[in-house]
Amino acid sequence: MLGLLAGAGHEIVPEEQADLVLVNTCSFIGDATSESVRTILELAGSGKKIVVTGCLAQRHQADLWDSLPEVAAFLGTADFDRIVEVVRRVEGGERCNAVTPLPLVGAPVLNKDLPRLFTSLGPSAYLKIAEGCDHSCSFCIIPQMRGRYVSRERPAILREARQLAAAGVKELVLIAEDTTRYGQKETGKFRLAALLHDLAEVDGIDWIRILYAYPNYMTQELLEAVRDVPKVVKYLDMPLQHTHPDVLRAMRRPRHEPPDELVARMRATVPGLVIRTTLIMGFPGETPGHVDHVLEFLSRERLEHVGAFAYSPEQGTPAADLKPTVPKRERNRRRRLVMELQQEVSRTLHEGLVGKTLDCLIEAIDVKTGEALGRTYRDAPEIDGTTYVTGEPAALPGEIVPVRITRTGPYDLHGEFVPDPQADGPRSSSGRARPRQDS
């Protein structure tokens, strides 16, 4: 949307200076919905024109049309390419509802060549490879907001990847509601592995990272591509949501191999693989035995990153009516148990990195301390930790350089630049270290 607006001659400015504010919303859980509405209400008295886009608009526009008369336009999740037209109408004094009721059926918008304008991720950029979801997890509202699963066409993805590389992006972070299913619905074959090979050919891109890899489509071919394609970082984000089969059944998660076996297969295929998962604690019917099952799994498998959430019932989902519920305080306690255990696991795993040299993508320089801030392949942008780097020769944002780890905590790493990069590994032709990742 920013790219389209800039291309149409609009100036993108900080909110305080704007005549029109675009509020791009989330509505995945109650808290996100409240935050989105709060943001809109805060802007309501400002005299600025307000355009609300994204999931809140998609999900609640029928209610919000009357209750938020301050909003000049609503734009649905599959309607973002109409932003210039909508802004023009709003500037002309019109109030408009541009929400297509069934998002992304056929999703022609996904395959359009749209310009991108970057905001905050520095040398990394998200690259959407599919949209929507055909699963029906009982706690999840996403399919109702994003529509049925549809893969983007490969040429459109590659064109965008080249566009990102030309803009200086070094790391592509592949996203979708379900990345591992890429291509299967349209062609009958899982195509993510082939896409990784294609993306690795894009000049200028050094790292490719996969988020939201659904556990029941974790094909051997994909794991081998993660192992064999040098630019693909040895990192997989795989949301399990729970480990106990009873709870997984109540969550209506599609069947997949038992989590222990799956993790063992992943680790056996991809040496050095870093695994992130997310878990929901306190789902209706979850017993203390189910909680122990999760804790024992985490102690045994020692995943590198875990995000745990207390279950929050979502209106309009089947789980919202399930009984018996777990009291909110207990849901939070169970979440805390998971996070405390995981902190210890992460702390120990990080301690094992001290003295090792890892490639680090420099993202920014702290002007106060002079420290470089970056990430190794072990950490995804925005969700995992930061690596703080000191010493000479300093590197610039966007460079991937070897860093020796000197100190660690449960989430972040501290290290120093390796003085002579040649001593620790060859540099890429562009002057950046090759994605060797770990030594």
The nearer residue to ligand SF4, 319 or 362, going by C-beta atoms, is 319
Pairwise CA distance, residues 220 & 151, whole Å: 20
In the complex, what is the shortest distance from the CB of residue 29 to ligand SF4, in angstroms, rounded to a whole number? Answer: 11
Radius of gyration of the chain (CA): 23
Would strands 232-237 and 372-376 be described as parallel, antiparallel, or unpaired?
A: unpaired
The nearer residue to ligand SF4, 130 or 157, going by C-beta atoms, is 130
Answer positive or negative: Cα dihedral of 185, 380, 171, 367.
Answer: positive
Would strands 387-390 and 400-408 be described as parallel, antiparallel, or unpaired?
A: unpaired
In the complex, what is the shortest distance from the CB of residue 177 to ligand SF4, in angstroms, rounded to a whole number? Answer: 4
Which residues have CB under 8 Å from 179's CB, separation 6+? 129, 130, 192, 210, 211, 212, 213, 214
Pairwise CA distance, residues 155 & 137, whole Å: 31
The nearer residue to ligand SF4, 142 or 433, going by C-beta atoms, is 142
Amino acid identity, residue 63? D
The nearer residue to ligand SF4, 142 or 165, going by C-beta atoms, is 142
The nearer residue to ligand SF4, 179 or 376, going by C-beta atoms, is 179
Backbone angles phi, psi at 93, to 5 degrees: 95, 5
Point out which residues bind ligand SF4 (CB under 6 A).
Answer: 133, 135, 137, 140, 142-143, 177-178
In the complex, what is the shortest distance from the CB of residue 155 to ligand SF4, in angstroms, rounded to a whole number? Answer: 26
The nearer residue to ligand SF4, 268 or 383, going by C-beta atoms, is 383
The nearer residue to ligand SF4, 57 or 140, going by C-beta atoms, is 140
The nearer residue to ligand SF4, 311 or 377, going by C-beta atoms, is 311
Give CA separation, 346 vs 189, 340, 353, 378, in Å. 36, 10, 11, 12
In the complex, what is the shortest distance from the CB of residue 215 to ligand SF4, in angstroms, rounded to a whole number? Answer: 10
In the complex, what is the shortest distance from the CB of residue 142 to ligand SF4, in angstroms, rounded to a whole number? Answer: 4
Q: Tokens 């490969």 map to which residue?
A: 154
Cβ 25 vs Cβ 57: under 8 Å = yes
DSSP structure class, residue 82: G
In the complex, what is the shortest distance from the CB of residue 178 to ligand SF4, in angstroms, rounded to a whole number? Answer: 6
The nearer residue to ligand SF4, 143 or 282, going by C-beta atoms, is 143
DSSP structure class, residue 23: E
In the complex, what is the shortest distance from the CB of residue 134 to ligand SF4, in angstroms, rounded to a whole number? Answer: 8
Give CA separation, 327 vs 9, 256, 293, 294, in Å. 52, 29, 19, 19
Which of 165, 374, 351, 399 minimizes the C-alpha distance to 421?
Answer: 399
In the complex, what is the shortest distance from the CB of residue 242 to ligand SF4, in angstroms, rounded to a whole number? Answer: 12
Would strands 387-390 and 130-131 be described as parallel, antiparallel, or unpaired?
A: unpaired
In the complex, what is the shortest distance from the CB of residue 140 to ligand SF4, in angstroms, rounded to a whole number? Answer: 3
Which residues have CB under 8 Å from 332's CB, separation 6+? 282, 310
